[in-house]
Amino acid sequence: MTSYLKPGSARTIAVIGGGAVGVATASFLLREGHDVVLVERGGIGEGASFGNAGVLAPSSVVPMSMPGTLMKVPGYLLDPLGPLSIRWRYLPTLAPWLARFVKSGTRERVQAQARALKPLLDDSFSAWLPLVRHAGNEALIRREGFLAVYRSEADFAGDALGYQLRRANDIPFEVLRGPELWAFEPAISRDYTIGVLFRQCGHTINPNRLVRTVANAFQRDGGRLIQARALGFAVEGGRLRGIETDAGLVPAQAAVVACGAHSRPLAAGLGDNVPLDTERGYHVLIADPEALPARPILDASAKFVSTPMETGLRMAGTVEFAGLEAPPDWKRAARLLTLGRRLFPGLAPHHPEARVSRWMGFRPSMPDSLPVIGRASACAEVVYAFGHGHVGLASAARTGMAVADLIAGRPPALDLAPFAAARF
């Protein structure tokens, strides 16, 4: 059986998953002086990290399930341009997750969830900065703010609790109306009359290149990459011997599960049956767009984000529940293109196919919008770091710092109790 143990190494840590969370975690562990091996079955940054909206938003403390969300679901499902889709064949599988999702949306619970997310997302731009700077490409992240826009006062009023949660967690924002909004962001349609500006937020101009750049620095500094699919763990007497993969055993004295939507079977093998499911997200990107905002913009009425990227204008979002196996529904991407043209009237009504690219990926989602971060039940030498949902990129660096603290035996800088696998 193949062995990847580095000669002369006293302690090897295997990080499973080459997305934003896994790469950030591996990088912080390497800084601690560990021998770190990154196990990824595909390409670095090619999963959910490839196609997300690229926003580094401390403002994203508002959970997905909120009081009143259930009442909106039928309207979302019936609207061909709506933000939610469920493949009905998948509904029996999804039902337990949906029940927990609804249960998580009480006022008391969302207040607790927002408090938990606050330190995990805190100044996510600055959390990424040392890794990007060390990798020699600080220009990949920019702090231009984040703007949410609404078409009506009624839509804005519908999000009142979300803004209460932000105020309660000391997240500053400014409300812009009418001419003030249009002067600040001239690219948007005048049909949008209210904007909420979060100046402390940032974004990356290419999420995939950000993750790959940090991974390259990880390898340059002595970290190792193995292309293999993790199958489980070799544990003897409660102690970890290594990671079992389709390429052989990867010996390790500690491990991190950070493989996003594919993490659930690995956690189950260690005694933790976590309710992780998959929100399939889509994006469409227009190269050389006729209109380009200066910063990411959330169309809060239609629930999608448009981000200026180095490759063009990316419109990302939607939630589709269909599991990991069903083929993509490219009508979801077409919806984003329609909505993007509504938000930015300067865009051409039609674009040549050569200028339009489409993508679908798997967003690892927990019903309470909180990731799983902490030690495995059956083996304390395995640490979980998955299920970040819509905030994976924004929370990746602070997740990596917390995992490095756990591996080192230090108290983490943030309270990990709300993220425990056993909370369900």
pLDDT at residue number 2: 40
**222 close to 168: Cβ distance less than 8 angstroms:** no
pLDDT at residue number 318: 86
Tell whether the model's pLDDT for residue 167 goes beyond 60: yes
**Each residue's pLDDT tens digit, 90-138:** 999 999 999 999 999 999 999 999 999 999 999 999 999 999 999 999 9
Task: Look up residue 31 and give its two tokens.
Answer: 């800084």
CA distance 424 to 415: 17
Facing residues of 387 across strands? none
Task: Look up residue 329 and give its two tokens.
Answer: 């529904």
Residue type, 359: W
Tell whether the model's pLDDT for residue 30 goes beyond 80: yes
**Each residue's pLDDT tens digit, 286-313:** 999 999 999 999 999 899 999 999 999 9
- What is the distance of C-alpha 155 from the center of its chain? 25
pLDDT at residue number 10: 56
C-alpha radius of gyration, the chain, whole number: 21
pLDDT at residue number 4: 38
